[in-house]
Chains A and B, each alone.
Chain A
Amino acid sequence: MSIFDGLKFRKVYSPIHNLDPRIKFIYVIVIFVAALLLGSILPLLALFFLQVPFVLLARVHRQWLRSLRGALFLALFILSTNVLVKWASAGYVFLIGDLESSVAMTLRFVVLVESFSVFFLTTSPDMLGLALEQSHVPYEFSFAFTTAVRFVPVLAEEAQTIMDAQKARGLEMEKGGFMKRIRNYVPVLIPLIVSAIRRSLELAEAMESRAWGAAKKRTNLYALTLHRGDFAMLAISVIVLVLAIYIYLFIPVPLVSSLF
């Protein structure tokens, strides 16, 4: 699914990639809050365009566009349901105000997809794991996270091998009615699960053998430190948040239609 393409990390060296993941996460939260507070088209458009320079700086525009394209379907769904519901509740009349707020809802969704996309496209799983470790999340969780990410490609390959092995014994995955097709997955799932269990046993042995659980306070080879770019990003995030709150409280945003 192309929407997932927009969430896969790409190893590129850019200022955005080098930012501390915790700072980037704060930025995502700020965008989220701002998008919630600003429910009309003009400020949401501003939020949308605000992020474009980051996308360009990070050189991930192609994947980012792909994620937006993937989100298009869902966006249209949100738009149409909003329009229909509002049309019905307005007495089966199309009101300009209703149309605008529907577009705004859709835009809000797009802005959120956009910011999450930027986050995941520019943050490698190791950086994420490291950020988790250093954010005082219990080590067990960040370890589970990074190990899971580490083994996803391994498990995917294994699933393919298992399917090949069973196909070579005459298993035809595409044939048969709905129930038969579901049953066809049993010879693939069972070896996969058994293999995953065996694998985790071996991993546990290796962990124990490398002194897992030795010290109460675990140290880390790497340390995440904040640099100028991080503070700049933080500042931008704070400004956006403050502006959003101010607009929400004090400035009534005109409808687009009223400008013409």
Chain B
Amino acid sequence: MESMAVIESKSLTYTYPGASKPSISDVTIKVEKGEFVLITGPSGCGKTTLCRCFNGLIPHFYQGELTGEMIVAGKDVTKFQTHELAKHVGLVFQNPENQLFALSIEKDVAFGLENLGFSRPEMRERVDWALKLTGIYDIRDRSPHEVSGGQQQRVAIAAVLAMQPEIIVLDEPTSFLDPLSAERIFEVIHELNQRLGITVVLVEHRLDLTARYATHIVIMDRGKVCSNGDTREVLRNEETRLVGVGIPKATLLHQMLIKSGMNISKVTPLSSDELVKLLTEVLVPR
């Protein structure tokens, strides 16, 4: 089966207006349809800047200097307006409160559809569908300010989902959330990826909660891509840790055990369950 790239960038370099050096340089990545990609790296590595390139906020909203190529859903971002690209790629931001504007959750979810001029019956259908998929149908009449951060992020996801994009990009969506709410958000995203085949691009620091979902990981450092490939391969690579990425404890422990000579399978675990499985293969009950 032929794989289709939904996001493809070539030597992408961007400098914010007034900045002395580029925030991202020479970024060449490819994301296939249906993938769950993790983008991570130390603060200031350019991952947030890269996210803004996916839906045209860069260069249209931020201006500045963009060179190289960024093709999303077959469209060159420099040649299409953000409102056109928004039909194909949705962007969920870090701060739950600042992406919800309406006075009821339901109206917020409909916002994008209203902008696109959908008919009322079709909006109704899509809004209800998105609310149910993200598990917030019961709170649809509430005001965004009344609900928790985790619920607010679900509203943001539902709002993007309602436009039925092929790709959803999430920029550190759980920064302000506690680990339990964060886990729930990742489960929702994972489901959207598995059940609906939506391509997911997730920018995150919390690899212990997210590495298990991604088959493809991109590590960035100081504006450049330093690793790009299969999650297990990249995370067992020493360089990843040296760049300052916090790899999952299970992965780190596994590496430590192998280094100390334990005869355990070399398949890199990404979660506690995976490591336990490997350990039970070599350890007997004592």
Chain A directly contacts chain B within the complex, with at least one CB pair under 8 Å:
yes
B104 to chain A, nearest CB (A): 6
The reply on A170 being an interface residue by CB < 8 A is no
Residue of B nearest to A127 (CB): B103
The reply on B83 being an interface residue by CB < 8 A is yes
B56 to chain A, nearest CB (A): 8
Give the docked Cα–Cα distance between A209 and B112 (Å).
8
Say which residue of A146, A206, A207 sits within 8 Å of B103 (CB atoms): A146
- Chain A contacts for B91, CB-based, 8 A: 205-206, 209
The reply on A26 being an interface residue by CB < 8 A is no
The reply on A224 being an interface residue by CB < 8 A is no
Give the docked Cα–Cα distance between A210 and B110 (Å).
10
Q: How many residues on chain B are close to A (CB under 8 Å)?
A: 46
Residue of A nearest to B107 (CB): A221
The reply on B256 being an interface residue by CB < 8 A is no
Say which residue of A125, A126, A206, A219 sits within 8 Å of B114 (CB atoms): A219
Interface of B is mostly: helix
A2 to chain B, nearest CB (A): 24
The reply on B115 being an interface residue by CB < 8 A is yes
With A211-B86, A221-B106, A221-B107 as contacts: A203 and B117 at CB distance below 8 Å? no
Give the docked Cα–Cα distance between A218 and B100 (Å).
18
Say which residue of B61, B115, B119, B120 sits within 8 Å of A210 (CB atoms): B115
B151 to chain A, nearest CB (A): 16
Residue of A nearest to B87 (CB): A211
Give the docked Cα–Cα distance between A150 and B102 (Å).
7
Q: Are B107 and A215 in contact (CB under 8 A)?
A: no
The reply on B163 being an interface residue by CB < 8 A is yes
With A206-B93, A210-B111, A221-B110 as contacts: A150 and B61 at CB distance below 8 Å? no
Give the docked Cα–Cα distance between A205 and B49 (Å).
13
Give the docked Cα–Cα distance between A43 and B38 (Å).
73
Q: Are A126 and B160 in contact (CB under 8 A)?
A: no
Say which residue of A153, A202, A211 sits within 8 Å of B163 (CB atoms): A211
The reply on A149 being an interface residue by CB < 8 A is yes
A153 to chain B, nearest CB (A): 6
Interface of A is mostly: helix
Give the docked Cα–Cα distance between A78 and B160 (Å).
54
Say which residue of A124, A205, A212, A219 sits within 8 Å of B93 (CB atoms): A205
Q: Are B145 and A154 in contact (CB under 8 A)?
A: yes
Q: Are A213 and B83 in contact (CB under 8 A)?
A: yes
Say which residue of B55, B119, B159 sits within 8 Å of A219 (CB atoms): B119
- Chain A contacts for B119, CB-based, 8 A: 219
Considering the complex, which residues of chain B in the window 198-227 have a beta carbon less than 8 Å from any beta carbon of chain A? none
Residue of B nearest to A143 (CB): B101
Say which residue of B83, B98, B100, B143 sits within 8 Å of A214 (CB atoms): B83
B29 to chain A, nearest CB (A): 20
Residue of A nearest to B99 (CB): A206
Residue of B nearest to A129 (CB): B103
Q: Are A221 and B82 in contact (CB under 8 A)?
A: no
- Chain A contacts for B113, CB-based, 8 A: 219, 221
With A211-B116, A221-B123 as contacts: A146 and B160 at CB distance below 8 Å? no
Give the docked Cα–Cα distance between A39 and B184 (Å).
65
Chain A residues close to B by CB (< 8 Å)? 124-126, 129, 143, 146-147, 149-150, 153-154, 199, 202-223
Give 7 A-B contacts (CB < 8 Å), ordered by A residue.
A126-B107, A154-B97, A206-B93, A210-B159, A219-B120, A221-B123, A223-B120
- Closest 10 A/B residue pairs (Cβ): A215-B117, A206-B99, A210-B112, A214-B83, A202-B98, A126-B103, A221-B110, A211-B86, A211-B83, A209-B91
